[in-house]
Amino acid sequence: MSRVLVIGLALSAVTGLAQAQASYDCLKGPLAASTEVKQGLHRGLADLVAETAPDHAELAQLAADWQVGASELRHHRVRHLSAVEPARLPDANAVRSFAWDDEDEIVLAAKDPAYAALAEHVAALEAESRNHPGWSGLRAVVRERLSDTAEYKALLQDAGVKAGAVNADLAACFAG
């Protein structure tokens, strides 16, 4: 192997490590914006449910809290992976959808007590939402009474436009 090739490989490795660290610096803005988009969508949906079916308002808020918390967990996970296994986040698609298993969960929870508390809280919100006696009724309200309304469609369209901007910012973090 020539010295030029060895030096080139070494520089590529060092540059790759620097890009992984710089990558999280870039990613944190789009991740925060993604959480804001999800907050807006789920809080807006909870408000629509409260207006349309007040008897499901409390559960809709609970479900919104669960979804927003799940988005915050994802942010923590991306930060963790970018620090310890940046190769698992090679592009914007991987940041949006990456494998996360029990071992990952154990490691991050042990390293970050705030994450562990948030994960426990989000799991409790999910369980409370899914096990709520009104869960199927809430889903029916959204499907049968809201999904064809102008307000619901506008909420989804607004979230889609904002998510598109977030995705563009996310993709820019991996450009050249």
pTM beyond cutoff 0.85: no
Distances (CA, A) of 153 to 44, 100, 142: 11, 32, 12
pLDDT digits 0-9 by tens, 58-115: 999 999 999 999 999 999 999 999 999 988 998 888 998 999 999 999 999 999 999 9
- Of 140, 136, 131, 135, whose CA–CA distance to 52 is shortest? 140
Could you tell me the pLDDT band of residue 116, with boundaries at 50, 70 and 90? Answer: very high
- Alpha-carbon distance 77 to 89, whole Å? 11
Q: Is the pLDDT of residue 45 over 90?
A: yes
Can you give the three-state secondary structure of 138-166, one letter per residue? HHHHHHHHHCCCHHHHHHHHHHHHHHHHH
- Check if the beta carbon of residue 169 is closer than 8 Å to that of residue 29: yes
Residue 110's pLDDT is what?
98
Q: Is the pLDDT of residue 18 over 70?
A: no
Residue 37's pLDDT is what?
96
- Check if the beta carbon of residue 59 is closer than 8 Å to that of residue 132: yes
Could you tell me the pLDDT band of residue 143, with boundaries at 50, 70 and 90? Answer: very high
